[in-house]
């Protein structure tokens, strides 16, 4: 088989895989929340996520280092013990864009995640958990020794 034929076969296979994913996303009405993800201030990100009021909660566990040697790789672990958790949002106040991620949980999925984020400088990591029409929050300050958003 020639290289050109292999490339055509690969491109066709990728189209076959991506079309159903796009159809599923359209069916679930999943859209890129441009306003929230491009926000440069916490208040603007919250507004983009349609959050009106937040309640501090001890039922959100945020495990993050006290000090991050390199802001390019800051591992965080989040667990929500709030019943009917629908979404977990991760925000970092002093980043160029505040909203790091908005993770949606459905069909009784365990509201737990581990991820690595970038931090531009020392800042609070703020977690917002959506459960029904309520929003709960927890945060932790992380000292960044080397900028990770450069």
How many CA atoms lie within 13 Å of 80's alpha carbon, on the beta-carbon side? 29
How many CA atoms lie within 13 Å of 121's alpha carbon, on the beta-carbon side? 5
Average pLDDT in the chain: 84
- Indicate yes or no: pTM above 0.75: yes
The fold of 34-144 is Immunoglobulin-like (2.60.40)
**Distances from the Cα of 16 to the Cα of 28, 105, 120, 144, 148, angstroms:** 19, 26, 39, 43, 37
Asked if 61 and 88 touch (Cβ cutoff 8 Å), the reply is: no
Q: What tens digit of pLDDT does each residue of 39-97 get?
A: 999 999 999 999 989 999 999 999 999 999 998 999 999 999 999 999 999 999 999 99
């Amino acid at each position: 088989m020639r290289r050109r034929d292999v490339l055509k076969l690969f491109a066709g296979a990728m189209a076959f895989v991506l079309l159903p994913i796009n159809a599923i996303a359209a069916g679930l009405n999943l859209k890129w929340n441009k306003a929230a993800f491009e926000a440069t201030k916490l208040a603007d990100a919250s507004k983009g996520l349609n959050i009106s009021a937040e309640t501090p909660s001890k039922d959100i566990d945020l495990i993050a280092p006290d000090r991050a040697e390199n802001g390019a790789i800051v591992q965080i672990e989040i667990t929500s013990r709030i019943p009917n958790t629908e979404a977990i949002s991760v925000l970092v106040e002093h980043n160029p864009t505040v909203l790091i991620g908005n993770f949606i949980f459905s069909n009784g999925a365990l509201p737990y995640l581990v991820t690595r984020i970038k931090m531009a400088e020392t800042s609070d990591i703020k977690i917002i958990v959506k459960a029904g029409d309520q929003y709960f929050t927890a945060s932790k300050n992380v000292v960044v020794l080397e900028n990770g958003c450069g």
